[in-house]
Structure 1
Amino acid sequence: MAIVVGKMTLIALLCFMVASAPYGVNGAVTCQMVVSSLTPCASYLTRGGPVPASCCSGINSLYSAATTTPDRQMACKCMKQASGMLPGIRLDAATSLPGKCGVNIPYKISPDTDCNKVQ
């Protein structure tokens, strides 16, 4: 029962984010792209365990798409928004995720990150 409620909460959260998130007008990265790229990571972010290959694939795809400062700032803002809205997220898991997927991002994934300073 808890798993079903958790999945329904995640689906509702993702739908809310897609419907209400600011979309990049001039950039290649949108919150919808961030959400779809990171959805496979939800189980790792809330329960730990091994990182799913589909999660790393999404992270690498998102990293490849975020080639400009506005794109990286948009991705940061969307991830920050998601980290504050996903119930039960383990911030240590979120912080370690890029490294576990072989991606080096120059900022910490955290609710405290100032995305406007991301280059």
Structure 2
Amino acid sequence: MAALKKVATLALAVLLAATVAAPPAVVRAAMSCSTVYNTLMPCLPYVQMGGSMPAQACCGGIRTLLAQANNTPDRRTICGCLKNVANGASGSTYVTRAAGLPSKCGVTLNYRISTNVNCNTIN
């Protein structure tokens, strides 16, 4: 169950991490995997069970994470955290659902979520 939660969170964050518009500079701590997982936890039910639309809290979490990832190191960290979780999960159904979350939440990304994503190419 924990691996499934991490897979769902991973796939979603990977999609969202690469194409964040830079928000105003704010002094804060570097992004952590803990922050990524906690912020995207409301997306877990959708990723695990599907449905017509994810919860509003899920889409809000995606937008929050994107707003916080205002530099390349943070975006790459998010990608790495989520990729590690996805690679540890069995089956691709969860990753496929997570990959669809950005469009369901009205977020546009310039890459596809995948367990094979090269996080070093994210700017």
Query: Structure 1-normalised TM-score?
Result: 0.71
Q: Mind listing any 5+ residue stretches in structure 1 that lack a counterpart?
A: 1-8, 15-25
For 1:84 and 1:97, locate their aligned partners in 2 and report how far apart those are by CA, in whole Å: 19
1:11 shift after superposition: 8.3
Segments ≥4 residues shifted beyond 3 Å:
11-14, 85-89
Q: 1:34 aligns with which of 36, 50, 69?
A: 36
Q: 2:49 aligns with which of 44, 47, 55?
A: 47
Residues 43-65 of structure 1, C-alpha deviations (whole Å, 9 max, x = no match) = 11121002011111111100001
1:5 aligns with none
1:10 shift after superposition: 2.6
Which of the pair has the greater relative contact order for Cα pairs under 8 Å at 6+ separation? 2
2:20 aligns with none
- Contact kept, 8 Å, 2:31 with 2:78, in 1: the verdict is yes
Count of matched residue pairs? 100
Amino acid in the other structure paired with 2:35: M
- Contact kept, 8 Å, 1:27 with 1:71, in 2: the verdict is no
Q: 2:2 aligns with which of 1, 4, 10?
A: 10
1:80 aligns with 83
Amino acid in the other structure paired with 2:74: D
> Residues 116 and 84 (structure 1 numbering): CA distance in 2 closer, same or farther, change over 3 Å?
same
Residues 53-86 of structure 1, C-alpha deviations (whole Å, 9 max, x = no match) = 1111111100001111111101111121222335
> Residues 81 and 13 (structure 1 numbering): CA distance in 2 closer, same or farther, change over 3 Å?
same
- Contact kept, 8 Å, 2:3 with 2:85, in 1: the verdict is no
> Residues 13 and 56 (structure 1 numbering): CA distance in 2 closer, same or farther, change over 3 Å?
closer
Amino acid in the other structure paired with 2:108: N
Query: Percent identity of the aligned residues?
Result: 35
Q: Mind listing any 5+ residue stretches in structure 2 that lack a counterpart?
A: 7-27
Q: What RMSD in Å do the two structures reach over aligned CA positions?
A: 2.4
Query: Structure 2-normalised TM-score?
Result: 0.69
Q: 1:94 aligns with which of 93, 98, 102?
A: 98
